[in-house]
Amino acid sequence: MLDKENLRQWLLRERSFSGNGPPPEIPDDVRIQLAMTYADAYERITGETPRVEVGDVEERIGKALL
């Protein structure tokens, strides 16, 4: 599944969160698994290994918007 349904299902199943109130924190292992799912799909579609960078997401978004 290549949409946000994976995360929605995890939130419902593991945290009983259905969108009301503040969202719970998502553990690193869950975020890594989701990222690996998308990285695998990218590689299958393009034949290229995705460039993965660890860092401050807000900073990267800010630089991209300049």
pLDDT means over runs of 10, the chain (66 residues): 81 92 93 89 94 86 90
42 in Cβ contact with 52 (< 8 Å):
no
51 near 43, Cβ under 8 Å? no
DSSP 8-state code for residue 29: H
Angle (CA) 60-65-66 rounded to 5° is 105
- Tokens at 26, concatenated: 């998502």
- φ/ψ of residue 30, rounded to 5: -70, -45
In this prediction, residue 35 carries a pLDDT of 87
Q: Residue 38's domain spans which residues?
A: 5-65
Average pLDDT of every residue of the chain? 89
Q: Please write the tens of the pLDDT for every residue from 2-16.
A: 678 889 999 999 999
pLDDT of residue 57: 86
Region for 7 from its dihedrals, namely left if φ exceeds 0, alpha if ψ lies in -120 to 50, beta otherwise: alpha
Q: How many folded domains does the chain comprise?
A: 1
